[in-house]
Structure 1
Amino acid sequence: MAGTNNFLPLMLDLSGRKIVIFGGGSVGERKAELFCGCADTVVVSLEFSERLQELGASGQVRLLRLDLSAAADFELKEIISGAFLVIPATSSSELNRKITDIAGESDILINQVDALGNVVIPSVIKRGDLVIGISTLGHSPAVSKYTRMQIEGVITPAYSYMIRLQDELRSYLKLHVKEQRKRKALLWKVLESEMVWNGFSESYEKAAENAYSIISDNLG
């Protein structure tokens, strides 16, 4: 087991990566919902929740029906072959440990739902291109959830619009302002402008109008 001091938060491109989730219940469903939009997600179980069946029918995940309690080791090894990440999420701790051991033999990353594996999946907040991960490394799911609720109250959907606006302004300023330090200062003026943030409540266009007005005033 990895030491808790060795964990480092990273953003990974999972395009084309194979994620194998064992267990078709609520936990497996939650994990599949998280990964299905960015990776080749396979869920293995004898039975699947209604939502997982919907995801399977729409092609968002691949469902593999198998009685895991009776599956031989070679079958499990075959299923996880080529996987980037394995998630044992069955209702049996013994079965989860067995899957973990088999995946570990192949140096495959493991996210354990009933123990601390070598991958911790954080609680995720997404606001467009702004992604925030929250984790207590399994020590307190309640604190993790509480922290997420607090952050969600502050990080409004307007943040995704500000990212879009800042990206637009960066391109504009690169054409009109040679000095990088000045470009940075102008972007911060926009970022800290209450007028711009309030403009998003009306429309993106209104906020952008306010932002370009700030830039114009400071360039003149």
Structure 2
Amino acid sequence: MAETNNFLPLMLDLSGRKIVIFGGGSVGERKAELFCGCADTVVVSLDFSERLQELEASGQVRLSKLDLTAATDSKLREIVSGAFLVIPATSSSELNRKISNIAGESDILINQVDALGSVVIPSVIKRGDLVIGISTLGHSPAVSKYTRKQIENVITPAYSDMIRLQDELRSFLKLHIKEQKKRKVLLWKVLENEKVWNGFSESYEKAAEEAYKIISDNVGNFE
């Protein structure tokens, strides 16, 4: 029988949180690029990729030069102290396990790149305020990548504009219709209208014009 899957997707505010990544190669670089825009991101390694050096130069990450193979346990504990999440991404599985064990002593969340840790970082699709995470819990990166490509074909950049428009319409409708259920009906009429979606290909203003026409044509039914 397969082990119980206790992983649950969450959206976390990482503002001011410390993320420590061990390893300055391609994997560490990819993790740093994901987190640097929303958390205090530190990368620890003896050498760093060119991209990581660029991220440091632009103030997006902090690089800490250290020979991890020679680092003592006390030094590693010092580095992970206060971290919200630790990512061991070195080329050594043994070193990654050592870092994971040390972080685990302080109940720090761990994302392991060569094993299933306490945190699984999904493949992420962003369309403005729409965020979609995809994961197979490490069982099939190929399926995860394939799924992402399929979703990206459906969830176009227009979704970002629709979120903006829906937010605008919600504020407008709150001024004119008291009942939430009635506002919901109108918002769905806009959401399901092909002319509104097609309008985004021309401009946001064109789509908004179509949306407000729908509201105007139907608002009388709810007053």
User: Could you say which TM-score interval applies, normalised by the shorter chain?
Assistant: over 0.9
CA distance in 2, matches of 1:181, 1:78: 54
The alpha-carbon deviation at position 219 of structure 1 amounts to 1.7
Matched, 1:127 2:127: yes
Stretches of structure 1 that go unaligned for 5 or more consecutive residues are none
In the alignment, is residue 35 of structure 1 matched against residue 27 of structure 2? Answer: no
**CA distance in 2: counterparts of 1:10 and 1:4, whole angstroms:** 18
Residues 75-90 of structure 1 mapped to structure 2, 5 A cutoff: 75-90=75-90
Cα deviations by residue, 1:78-108 (Å, 9 ceiling, x for unpaired): 0000000000000000000000000001100
- Helix, strand or coil: the match of 1:8? coil
Question: What's the offset of the Cα at 1:4?
Answer: 5.2
The separation in 2 between residues aligned to 1:173 and 1:5, in whole angstroms, is: 42
TM-score when scaled to structure 2? 0.97
Structure 2, gaps ≥5 residues long: none
Counterparts of 1:180 and 1:66, CA distance in 2: 57
- Paired residue for 1:202? 202
Counterpart in 2 of 1:177? 177
| Residue equivalent to 2:186 | 186
Give the match for residue 14 of structure 1: 14
The RMSD of aligned alpha carbons is 0.7
Following TM superposition, the consecutive aligned residue runs of length 4 or more in structure 1 with deviations greater than 4 angstroms are none
Q: Deviations over 1:110-140 (max 9, x none)?
A: 0000000000000000000000000000000
Note closer, same or farther for the CA distance 1:55–1:162 as it changes in structure 2 (3 Å cut).
Answer: same
SS at match of 1:176: coil
> 1:174-214 CA distances to partner (integer Å, 9 max, x unpaired)?
00111211100000000000000000000000000000000
Given that residues 4 and 137 in structure 1 are in contact (C-alpha distance below 8 angstroms), is that contact kept between their aligned partners in structure 2? no
| Percent of aligned pairs with the same amino acid | 88
- TM-score by length of structure 1 reads 0.98
Aligned length in residues: 218
Distance 1:4 1:65, change over 3 A: farther
